[in-house]
């Protein structure tokens, strides 16, 4: 392995030369040295109209010309078909800008006054939802793009900067506090919010004798779903969900009819700025907001019900996290395709939504690989091609701190949770060590951190030499740690949601 910094800098300069000369559209900086190199010269790159941006859910930088970035983002805006250009502003201090805010504000005031006078909401609820509309200055949310790895490609994904002073924010937060807990309670058994959830379900499925040599594993990813779902069908799905799962037709004293009315208010008044242009989003909602995720989940829950019931009757697995579905199938592939067309694909055939389906004996669910060989289950970590092991590991559901000690420990925990047997674990452990060595972390540090990790989860001390029996016990201990940590995290989130008050909002505005 050649770790000469001079060679690495030469390689960086060669890649940069190709970019400057427009012989490639972008380059990736994967190792710590590569990323440091580009950050050092970032000011010089700005003068050449070259931008340096972090890739979402990875430890990689994306470097490209502004021209390429604008072309890709503008193409997305045009092709997706849900963003309507309303006005272009020279600055945000003119009357047109304030007039749009006034129109938006008037709709909120009128709706909430009407609900309050009909006693559909309490004084406290009225004040909570009106609070952000009473601040002296308002701001539109802003759309931006971030690169993301998607099936071996780098694509730009839209995100929204959600400002405290955006008038609809208080209503959206309030609605999510009402709807989110109900959805999570109803769908707990089919929500695989992490790859660990999916792996444990597949392990139980195999232990119960349902896994056969012919069993098919399936994943479905519905791309851009949150951004472009139909508002009309969303409202229909929400009404159906509330009718079936809120028997007294009230949540915390608010009628389901009022909740639907407030959701419609938000969906019909989604405005944002992008490059000093004001747009309205006429389908879907911003994908990185909590209410959008809850609504999208309810939409898909409504859509998938018949299909999930069929799978349950056949003793198959089904789980979902947002727009990612995963399940098992023990009958013919042709019959499966017919059912998918009837229950899922046909619903989206008139939209711009793209669906990726993987069917076989090996699938990927986020960063986990789940497979079987003649009915013997095998699970481990999935690594993105052309990125790892050069980039340091990115561990989902983990605070992305940059210090090597924290990251190495998180990667080893993930390896233990995902790897179904000792051989898979040892292969992943080698992969982790290689990644850190490539990024100039010393072997002594890696070995010391690994030794401490093993001793933390195996009281008798194993000096990093395992056999299959020890690994099973060791893995059980890591699973127990993960379960307790997840439970604590969930409890903290519930506490935070319950204590969301006007005082919190005041602190945000200071």
Does 20 have pLDDT greater than 60?
Answer: yes
pLDDT score at 509: 36
In Å, how far are 42, 76, 162, 272, 493 from 53, measured between CA atoms? 10, 18, 20, 22, 30
- Phi, psi for 371 (deg, rounded to 5): -145, 170
Q: 2 pLDDT band (50/70/90 cuts)?
A: very low
Q: Which two tokens stand for residue 258?
A: 């009022």
Lowest-pLDDT range of 416-420, 456-460, 489-493: 489-493
Tens digit of each residue's pLDDT (9 = 90 or more) over 31-69: 999 999 999 998 899 999 999 999 999 999 999 999 999
Dist. CA 424–CA 407, nearest whole Å: 20
pLDDT tens digits, one per residue of 479-500: 999 999 988 877 776 666 555 4
> Tokens 């292969």 sit at which residue?
427
pLDDT in tens, 196-214: 999 999 999 999 999 999 9
Structure tokens at 170: 């208080």
Find the mean pLDDT for residues 274-287: 92
pLDDT at residue 18 is higher than 70 = no
CA distance 23 to 407: 35
Q: Residue 242 CB: number of other CB atoms within 10 A?
A: 21
* 114-120 long-range Cβ contacts below 8 angstroms, 24+ apart: 115/258, 115/261, 120/254, 120/255, 120/258
Distance of alpha carbon 117 from alpha carbon 497, whole angstroms:
27
- Closest CA relative to residue 132, chosen from 104, 96, 160: 104
pLDDT in tens, 150-194: 877 889 999 988 777 788 888 999 999 999 999 999 999 999 999
Provide the sign of the torsion angle of the four alpha carbons 164, 167, 170, 173, taken in this order: negative
Q: Give 510's pLDDT tier (boundaries 50, 70, 90).
A: very low
Instruction: Report pLDDT for 25.
Output: 81
CA gyration radius, the chain: 25
Task: Tell me the helices (H) and strands (E) count for the chain, helix number first.
Answer: 19, 17
| pLDDT tens string 213-270 | 999 999 999 998 999 999 999 999 999 999 999 999 999 999 999 999 999 999 999 9
pLDDT band at 91 (very low <50, low <70, confident <90, very high): low
Q: 507: pLDDT confidence band, cut at 50, 70 and 90?
A: very low
Helix extents (H) in 349-458: 404-418, 422-438, 443-457
Computed over every residue of the chain, the mean pLDDT equals 88
Helix (H, G, I), strand (E, B) or coil at 158: strand
When comparing pLDDT for 315 and 138, which is higher? 315
Whole-angstrom distance, CA of residue 77 vs CA of residue 167: 24
CA distance 377 to 210: 11
Mean pLDDT of all residues in 14-24: 67
What pLDDT shows up at residue 506?
Answer: 38
Query: What is the mean pLDDT of the segment spanning 93-106?
Result: 76
User: Which comes out higher in pLDDT, residue 102 or 379?
Assistant: 379
């Amino acid at each position: 392995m050649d770790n000469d910094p001079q060679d690495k800098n030469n390689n960086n300069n060669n890649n940069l030369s190709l970019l400057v000369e427009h012989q490639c559209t972008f380059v990736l900086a994967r190792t710590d040295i590569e990323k440091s190199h580009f950050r050092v010269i970032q000011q010089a790159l700005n003068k050449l109209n070259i931008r340096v941006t972090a890739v979402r859910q990875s430890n990689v930088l994306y470097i490209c010309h502004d021209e390429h970035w604008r072309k890709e983002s503008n193409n997305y805006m045009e092709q997706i078909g849900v963003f309507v250009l309303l006005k272009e502003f020279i600055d945000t201090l003119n009357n047109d800008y304030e007039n749009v805010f006034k129109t938006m504000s008037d709709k909120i005031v009128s709706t909430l006054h009407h609900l309050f006078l009909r006693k559909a909401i309490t004084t406290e609820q009225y004040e909570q939802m009106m609070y952000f509309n009473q601040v002296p200055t308002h701001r539109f949310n802003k759309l931006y793009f971030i690169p993301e790895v998607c099936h071996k490609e780098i694509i730009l994904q839209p995100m929204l900067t959600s400002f405290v002073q955006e008038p609809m924010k208080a209503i959206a937060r309030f609605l999510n506090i009402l709807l989110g807990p109900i959805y999570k309670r109803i769908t707990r058994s089919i929500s695989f919010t992490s790859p660990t959830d999916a792996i444990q379900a597949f392990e139980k499925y195999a232990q119960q004798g349902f896994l056969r040599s012919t069993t098919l594993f399936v994943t479905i990813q519905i791309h851009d779903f949150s951004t472009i779902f139909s508002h009309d069908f969303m409202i229909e799905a929400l009404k159906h969900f509330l009718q079936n799962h809120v028997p007294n037709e009230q949540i915390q004293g608010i009628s389901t009819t009022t909740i639907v009315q407030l959701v419609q208010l938000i969906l019909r008044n989604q405005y944002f700025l992008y490059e000093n242009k004001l747009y309205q989003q006429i389908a879907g909602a911003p994908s990185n907001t909590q209410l959008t995720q809850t609504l999208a989940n309810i939409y898909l829950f409504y859509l998938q019900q018949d299909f999930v019931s069929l799978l349950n009757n056949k003793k198959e697995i089904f789980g979902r996290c947002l727009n990612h579905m995963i399940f098992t199938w023990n009958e013919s592939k042709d019959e499966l395709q017919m059912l998918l067309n009837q229950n899922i694909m046909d619903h989206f055939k008139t939209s711009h939504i793209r669906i990726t389906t993987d069917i076989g004996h090996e699938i990927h669910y986020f960063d986990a690989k789940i497979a079987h060989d003649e009915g013997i289950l095998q699970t481990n970590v999935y690594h993105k091609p052309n990125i790892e092991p050069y980039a340091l590991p990115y561990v989902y559901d983990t605070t992305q701190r940059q210090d090597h000690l924290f990251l190495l420990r998180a990667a080893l925990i993930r390896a233990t949770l995902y790897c179904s047997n000792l051989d898979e674990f040892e292969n992943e452990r080698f992969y982790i060590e290689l990644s850190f060595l490539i990024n100039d972390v010393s072997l002594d540090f890696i070995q010391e951190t690994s030794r401490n990790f093993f001793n933390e989860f195996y009281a008798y001390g194993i000096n990093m030499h395992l056999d299959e029996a020890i690994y099973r016990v060791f893995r059980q201990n890591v699973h127990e740690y993960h379960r307790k940590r997840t439970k604590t995290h969930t409890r903290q989130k519930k506490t935070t949601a319950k204590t969301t008050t006007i005082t919190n909002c005041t602190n945000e505005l200071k």
